[in-house]
Amino acid sequence: MKKLYAAALGYMIAGLLSGIYYRELTKALNFSGETMLSVLHTHLLILGMFFFLILISLEKLFQLSTNKRFSLFFWIYNIGVVWTITLMAIHGTLDVLGIASGPAIAGLAGMGHIILSIGLILFFMILKEVLFNKKA
């Protein structure tokens, strides 16, 4: 439960800081175009803070962490979120600076999404086990 709370708190702080970063960087460089930085804030809050706040409730109800796959899910999901967010921040910053990001950034971002998807698949496997394999 403590690591779920810590994850939610960490993502909340990162989400708020990313909003400040976006605002201040674009303001300092008089940038008014499209950038990945504009959605970084919401991605961190939804995939991070809100996801883990919901997970805390599910943990309280179903003790998801007792599942043998839970730790694997937790780390893979977090790696996927951090990887994806990092590439979004790099891509967005390059956009603001007027530097083309190229296919390597897109490929690495895609890998982050794949890792994140694996984490979500593990989560739903755990949830299914907990919800439907309970013995009455």
Residue 86 CB burial class (10 angstroms; 0-12, 13-18, ≥19): middle
Whole-number pLDDT of residue 1: 86
* Nearest one of 22, 116, 11, 89 to 56, comparing CA atoms: 11
Q: Are 48 and 12 in contact (CB under 8 A)?
A: yes
Whole-number pLDDT of residue 44: 97
Please state the pTM of the whole predicted model.
Answer: 0.92
Q: Rounded to whole angstroms, what are the CA distances from 74 to 55, 62, 65, 97?
A: 11, 16, 9, 34
How far is it, in rounded angstroms, from Cα 126 to Cα 120? 10
The ranges of the chain with pLDDT < 70 are 134-136
Whole-number pLDDT of residue 134: 64
* Nearest one of 93, 90, 89 to 25, comparing CA atoms: 93
Whole-number pLDDT of residue 135: 53
Whole-number pLDDT of residue 136: 43
